[in-house]
């Protein structure tokens, strides 16, 4: 639920700047243990400990049993040069990731495993599993897409427990990339919310506006630019017209979504026609009724967009949509 300050006049500062605390992909409980990634002896000790566990990804898909991640014991077939340290929990229990394109020993050891994508199961996982899953999927995507040195083109090698790749020719090191993107719920002077429909989406799907931060640009500038480009709406220049609320990793493949509420100073909509094909202002009553009737569907619980909308709306909305 929102606080009374959230429903104050859009022209006044938002007192409570905290986003809802239940961002699905923003949860984690394990220590990332960056201090041991380069310590070969410490890594070996963690791997050989009886409490060590392995999360196996097959084509980027997670092993699920009864709504939880299946973490298996290390196996003799695991390649020690392809181990990825995801984190360390209580009693020094380390969780590693292994990657495969076809199958894993987990699938034969536990035939009841169901392989699922993060979009499908992210909102069903507990805090520990959600943190493990999003980290594993993000690392896996980066390693799949960055197999060669951008300087000389040579194949690179996994290093630092999976958190870097090293070129054996020019000895350069390369790190996982994170692409900052802004996602914003725009409000007007009547406290209506602006939602848009991308032309590639099925009819009835509406969400907040979003876009990538460009080189040399602040996130707040990106909010104003993206809203203007996509909808023709101008955001105010006052610092309180763009309010940061929280962030969530979005590893499809490498985004970090920076969530904002923004205050519009104009209301006439002119969509760009390229990405956004339709946009509209919704009052709370209008959006609630449209969601109940099924005329409008909003993003799934895994998305920060859903939380931005519901924080403005004041309570959970019915229904959702999702993509595989």
310: which residues sit within 8 A by CB, 6+ positions away?
A: 20, 316, 317
In the chain, what are the domain boundaries? 4-24+178-313, 34-174
Query: pLDDT tens-digit profile of 230-258?
Result: 999 999 999 999 999 999 999 999 999 99
3-state helix, strand, coil in the chain (%, to 5): 30, 25, 45
Measure the CA–CA gap between 168 and 157, rounded to whole angstroms: 7
Measure the CA–CA gap between 266 and 281, rounded to whole angstroms: 12
Measure the CA–CA gap between 84 and 102, rounded to whole angstroms: 18
Domain 34-174, CATH class in plain words: alpha beta
Domains 4-24+178-313 and 34-174 share a fold: yes
Ranges of residues in the chain whose predicted pLDDT is under 50: 1-9, 11-15, 324
Report the topology of domain 4-24+178-313: Nucleoside Triphosphate Pyrophosphohydrolase (3.90.79)
Give helix 304-313 / helix 284-293 axis angle, nearest 10°. 120
Q: How many CA atoms lie within 13 A of 183 on its CB side?
A: 25
Strands (E), 173-275: 173-174, 179-187, 193-198, 209-212, 242-250, 255-263
Tell me what pLDDT residue 19 has.
Answer: 56
């Amino acid at each position: 639920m929102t606080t009374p300050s959230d429903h104050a006049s859009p022209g006044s500062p938002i007192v409570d700047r905290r986003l809802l605390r239940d961002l699905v992909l923003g949860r984690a409980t394990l220590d990332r243990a960056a201090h041991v990634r380069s310590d070969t002896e410490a890594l070996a000790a963690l791997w050989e400990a009886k409490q060590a566990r392995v999360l196996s990804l097959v084509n980027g898909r997670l092993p699920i049993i009864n709504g939880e991640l299946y973490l298996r014991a290390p196996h003799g077939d695991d390649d020690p040069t392809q181990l990825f340290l995801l984190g360390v929990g209580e009693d020094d229990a380390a969780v590693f990731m292994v990657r495969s394109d076809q199958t894993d020993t987990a699938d034969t050891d536990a035939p009841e495993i169901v392989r699922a994508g993060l979009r499908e199961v992210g909102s069903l996982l507990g805090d520990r599993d959600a943190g493990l899953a999003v980290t594993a999927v993000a690392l896996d995507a980066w390693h799949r897409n960055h197999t060669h040195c951008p300087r000389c083109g040579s194949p690179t090698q996994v290093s630092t427990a999976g958190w870097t790749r090293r070129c054996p020719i020019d000895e350069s090191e390369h790190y996982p990339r994170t692409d900052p993107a802004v996602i914003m719920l725009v409000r007007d002077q009547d406290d209506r919310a602006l939602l848009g429909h991308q032309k590639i989406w099925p009819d009835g799907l509406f969400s907040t506006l979003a876009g990538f931060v460009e080189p040399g640009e602040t996130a707040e500038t990106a909010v104003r630019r993206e809203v203007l480009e996509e909808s023709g709406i101008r955001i105010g220049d006052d610092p309180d017209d763009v309010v940061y609320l929280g962030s969530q990793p979005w590893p499809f493949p490498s985004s970090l979504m920076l969530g904002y509420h923004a205050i519009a100073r104009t209301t006439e909509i002119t969509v760009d026609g390229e990405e956004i094909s339709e946009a509209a202002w919704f009052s709370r009553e209008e959006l609630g009724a449209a969601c109940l009737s099924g005329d409008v569907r909003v993003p799934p619980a895994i998305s920060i967009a859903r939380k931005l909308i519901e924080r403005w709306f004041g309570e959970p909305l019915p229904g959702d949509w999702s993509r595989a």
